[in-house]
Amino acid sequence: MPDQNSFDSVYQHSIAQPEAFWEQAAEAIHWDKKWDQLIDDSDAPFTRWFVGGKTNVCYNAVDRHVDSGHGDQIALIHDSAITDSVKTLTFSELQQQVAAFSGALASQGVEKGDRVILYMPMVLEAVIAMLACARIGAVHSVVFGGFASNELAVRIDDCQPKVIVAASCGLEPGRVIEYKPLLDKAVELAEHTPDKCVVLQRPQCAATINGDRDIDWHEAVTKSEPKDCVSMDATDPLYILYTSGTTGQPKGVVRDTAGGIVALHWTMKNIYNVNPGDVYWAASDVGWVVGHSYIVYAPLFARNTSIVFEGKPVGTPDPGTFWRVISQHNVKVLFTAPTAFRAIKKEDPEGEYLKKYDVSCLQSLFLAGERTDPDTLQWATDQLGVPVIDHWWQTETGWAICSNCPGIELLPIKQGSPTKPLPGWEMDVLDDDGKPVKRGDIGSLVVKLPLPPGTFPTLWNARDRMFSSYFSRFPGYYESGDAGYIDEDGYVYVMSRTDDVINVAGHRLSTGAIEEVLASHPDVAECAVLGVRDALKGELPLGCLVLSSGVDRADDDIITECIALVREKIGPVAAFKLAAVVNRLPKTRSGKILRGTMKKIADNEEWKMPATIDDPAILDEITLALKSLGYAD
C-alpha cells in the first residue's frame, strides 16, 4: 500500500495500479449497484468508467447526508454582496426544495435523459435546479445568466431542451440585467422550441409571463408532488457544459454520472484538505465548470458547507468583500481566479482592507482559470500568510490536472508552476512531431491515455469533432491545447495556450513568460502580451499594461522600464519593444483575458464580438491603444 502522507507514493500507486487506486476512491460514495467493469477502454479514447454500476448524483450530494443524521448541517450559504443579504439552507431543507422542484420539472414532462437548460444568476435556486435535474436523471446545461440571445439560441438548438429554467433578472453592481427578454428572443431565434419555460421571479425585476409557454417557479412547485432519486447508470450523462468562445459549432462538454462523483469527492480531502462540516468557497459562477465542480457538486459530495456568492471582488462595495465573506462565514479554503486577486491588488495594493477582518480561519487559497503570475502569487502569500496554490485544469477535465495537495503532502511551492501532475494524470511535453522534448524545453502539454474518471467522455453530438480536436494530433495522448514545460523536479509550468507561443525570428517564445516579467514591475497590476505580425521577424510581442491604482508616474517611463526588464530577464531575443498602458483588459465573465481577439484586432483580421465578453466597450479602448503602436489600422 502507498504511504498516504507521501505525494510521490500516492501518485506512483495511481499510475502503476489505476484500478486499485480508483476502486478505493469509489468505495467512499454510495452505490445502488457496484460496477461490473471498472474501466472499459475498448473504444479508446472514449473511455468509460464504472461500467454496469448504478448511483445518483443528487443522492450522493444531499440525501445520503440527511440519511446519515447530518440533515441539520448547513449545506449552502447564499451571500449576496449586491443586495447585502445572507440566506442558508441545511441539508434537510435542501433535500425538500430539490425534491419539490424535481416534481415541478416532472410535471412539465421532463423525464430521464431529457435536457434542461438553466439560465440563472448566482442564487440558491440555480443550485436547486441543477440538483433537481440530477435527481430525476435529466441532463442539465447551464448557460451563464445574461448570455446573448443568439448564443443561447445556438445552445438551445444543439441540446434541444424540453424545458428552460430562468430567473427574471441578474444583478451587477449598479444595474439589473433582465433575463426574460433575452430568453424570449433566444427562443424566437432557435429552431427548436422548448415545451415550457419555468421562471423564477426576483424582487428586483418582474418578468412578463407568457401564459402559453411560461410558468412561475413557485406555482410549478405548488402544483407538483416531490420526486425521489432515480437510479442512474454510471455512464449516463449528468450535464452538458458549453465551453466559452463557442460560435457556430457548439462544443458541449459532457460529464458522466459516477466518474464525476468519485473524482470530485476524492479531490475535496486530498487536494483541498477539507473535512465534512468545513466551509468551502469557490468564488466563481455556476455557469462555469468551476461552479459545477466546486460550488455545487464536490463540496456537497464531501458534506462541506458551500458558499454561493453574488458579487464581485471589488466594487461590492469595496476591495474587502472577499475578506468579509471569509471572516463572516469561517471559510477554510477559498478557490478563485487570479484575476480576482489582481483586481483586489490593483485597488488595495497595501492590503488595508484586509486588516479590518479576522481571516485566521483561512487555511489555503487555490487559484485557477488563468496562469497565476508569480507577482500575484507572492502578493497573496504576503497578505494572507497561508499557502497560495496555483492549480491547472480545464472545462474538459472537470478537475485539476496539476496541483499541490495539502491533503496528502504540501510540496515546496515554485512560483509560476501548478506543481506536479495529480494522481491519475500522466503527463508529457511533445514537440510538433509528437516526440518528447528535453526537461525544461517548451512544447505541447499532453496527458497519456486513458484519462482518469471525472473527465469528459465525449462532446454532445460531436464524437468525431472530439477526436479531431483532442486526440488526433498526438495518438495515445489528450492534447490540452496548452504549451509549457516540465522541470528537473517534475514540476509543470503552463506558459500559454499553444497558439500563444510566438515565433520571433525563429525563436519560440511564450507570451506567458513575458507577461510574468512585466507583472513583476511594481507599478503593473496586470498585463497581456500578444504575438503580432511583423514583416521582418514573423512575429513580435506586444504588451498591454494595466497600472495599479494610485500610480502617479508618466506612462512612457513605466513602459521604458518594462522593456528594459524584459530585455534583462529574457534577453534581446524577445525583441520586446511594443507596449501601451490601458485602463482595462478585455475579459470573459470568468476572468480570462481575450488575447485571441486582441491579436486579431492588431493584425487586422476578421473577428467576432466574443459571446462571453464582460464589457464590449473595452475593445474600443484596446483598438485605440493598438493603433498608437502602429497596429489595428
Flag whether pLDDT at 222 surpasses 60: yes
Mean pLDDT of the chain: 93
What mean pLDDT is predicted for residues 316-330? 97
Q: Under a CB-based contact definition with an 8 Å cutoff, are residues 331 and 362 in contact?
A: yes
Q: Under a CB-based contact definition with an 8 Å cutoff, are residues 125 and 167 in contact?
A: yes
Measured between alpha carbons, how far is 601 from 621 in angstroms, rounded to an integer? 12
Identify the residue whose cell numbers are 464582460. 614
Task: Assess whether the previous peptide bond of 45 is cis (omega < 30° from 0).
Answer: yes
Flag whether pLDDT at 246 surpasses 50: no
* 356-368 pLDDT, tens digit each: 999 999 999 999 9
HEC string of 438-462?
Answer: CCCCCEEEEEECCCCCCCCCCECCC
Would you state the pLDDT for residue 247?
Answer: 40
Flag whether pLDDT at 106 surpasses 70: yes
What is each CA distance from 257 to 158, 381, 598, in whole angstroms? 21, 37, 38
Taking the CB of residue 574, how many other CB atoms lie within 10 A of it? 21
Can you read off the three cell numbers belonging to residue 324?
A: 468579509
Measured between alpha carbons, how far is 95 from 199 in angstroms, rounded to an integer? 21
**pLDDT-based confidence at 245, cuts 50/70/90?**
very low
Flag whether pLDDT at 373 surpasses 70: yes
What mean pLDDT is predicted for residues 296-307? 98
> Which amino acid, one-letter code, is at 630?
G
10 Å CB burial of residue 409 (0-12, 13-18, 19+) is: middle
> Which amino acid, one-letter code, is at 133?
C
Residue 206 dihedral angles phi and psi, to the nearest 5°: -95, 130
* 569-583 pLDDT, tens digit each: 887 778 899 999 999
Would you state the pLDDT for residue 341?
Answer: 93
Q: Under a CB-based contact definition with an 8 Å cutoff, are residues 119 and 179 in contact?
A: yes
Can you read off the three cell numbers belonging to residue 398?
A: 472537470
* Residue spans in the chain of domains classed CATH 3.30.300.30: 508-628
* H or E stretch at 421: none
Flag whether pLDDT at 401 surpasses 80: yes
Can you read off the three cell numbers belonging to residue 359?
A: 481571516
What mean pLDDT is predicted for residues 364-373? 88
> 194-228: string of b/e by CB count within 10 Å (b at 16+)?
bebbbbbbbeebebebeeeebbebeebbeebebbe
Can you read off the three cell numbers belonging to residue 445?
A: 502539454
**pLDDT-based confidence at 507, cuts 50/70/90?**
low
CB neighbour list of residue 219: distance below 8 Å, 6 or more residues apart: none
Measured between alpha carbons, how far is 50 from 454 in angstroms, rounded to an integer? 11
First to last CA, the chain: 64
Q: Under a CB-based contact definition with an 8 Å cutoff, are residues 147 and 119 in contact?
A: yes
* 597-621 pLDDT, tens digit each: 898 899 988 888 877 777 888 999 9
* 147-157 pLDDT, tens digit each: 888 889 999 99
> Which amino acid, one-letter code, is at 104?
A
HEC string of 235-249?
Answer: CCEEEEEECCCCCCC
**pLDDT-based confidence at 499, cuts 50/70/90?**
low
Measured between alpha carbons, how far is 392 from 494 in angstroms, rounded to an integer? 8
Fold of 508-628: GMP Synthetase; Chain A, domain 3 (3.30.300)
Identify the residue whose cell numbers are 504549451. 483
Would you state the pLDDT for residue 71?
Answer: 98
Measured between alpha carbons, how far is 62 from 301 in angstroms, rounded to an integer? 8
Q: What percent of the chain has pLDDT over 70?
A: 97
According to DSSP, the β-strands at 524-534 and 538-547 are antiparallel
Residue 174 dihedral angles phi and psi, to the nearest 5°: 80, 5
Q: Under a CB-based contact definition with an 8 Å cutoff, are residues 137 and 324 in contact?
A: no
What mean pLDDT is predicted for residues 165-178? 94
Flag whether pLDDT at 240 surpasses 60: yes
Q: Under a CB-based contact definition with an 8 Å cutoff, are residues 136 and 112 in contact?
A: yes
* 50-101 pLDDT, tens digit each: 999 999 999 999 999 999 999 999 999 999 999 999 999 999 999 999 999 9
Q: What is the largest CA-CA distance in the chain?
A: 71
According to DSSP, the β-strands at 443-448 and 427-430 are antiparallel
* Residue spans in the chain of domains classed CATH 3.40.50.12780: 7-311+391-483
Measured between alpha carbons, how far is 63 from 95 in angstroms, rounded to an integer? 6
HEC string of 164-229?
Answer: EEEECEEEECCEEEECHHHHHHHHHHCCCCCCEEEEECECCECCCCCCCCEEEHHHHHHCCCCCCC
**pLDDT-based confidence at 249, cuts 50/70/90?**
low
Task: Assess whether the previous peptide bond of 450 is cis (omega < 30° from 0).
Answer: yes
Identify the residue whose cell numbers are 509549457. 484
Measured between alpha carbons, how far is 158 from 467 in angstroms, rounded to an integer? 19
Q: Under a CB-based contact definition with an 8 Å cutoff, are residues 501 and 550 in contact?
A: no
> Which amino acid, one-letter code, is at 290?
V
* H or E stretch at 265: helix 257-270
10 Å CB burial of residue 464 (0-12, 13-18, 19+) is: exposed
Taking the CB of residue 583, how many other CB atoms lie within 10 A of it? 10
Would you state the pLDDT for residue 508?
Answer: 62
Flag whether pLDDT at 315 surpasses 60: yes
Would you state the pLDDT for residue 500?
Answer: 67
Would you state the pLDDT for residue 38?
Answer: 97
Fold of 7-311+391-483: Rossmann fold (3.40.50)
Residue 504 dihedral angles phi and psi, to the nearest 5°: -105, 105
Can you read off the three cell numbers belonging to residue 221?
A: 412547485
HEC string of 546-581?
Answer: EECCCCCCCHHHHHHHHHHHHHHHCCHHHCCCEEEE
Using alpha carbons, select from 99, 80, 77, 81 the residue that is nearest to residue 89.
77
CA angle at residue 397 from 391 to 403, to 5 degrees? 20
Residue 418 dihedral angles phi and psi, to the nearest 5°: -80, 25
Measured between alpha carbons, how far is 3 from 54 in angstroms, rounded to an integer? 31
Would you state the pLDDT for residue 471?
Answer: 96
Would you state the pLDDT for residue 617?
Answer: 87
Measured between alpha carbons, how far is 177 from 168 in angstroms, rounded to an integer? 9
Flag whether pLDDT at 186 surpasses 90: yes
Q: Under a CB-based contact definition with an 8 Å cutoff, are residues 30 and 60 in contact?
A: yes
Measured between alpha carbons, how far is 335 from 290 in angstroms, rounded to an integer? 9
DSSP letter, residue 205:
B
**350-354, 383-387, 549-553: the lowest-pLDDT one:** 549-553
Measured between alpha carbons, how far is 359 from 338 in angstroms, rounded to an integer? 19
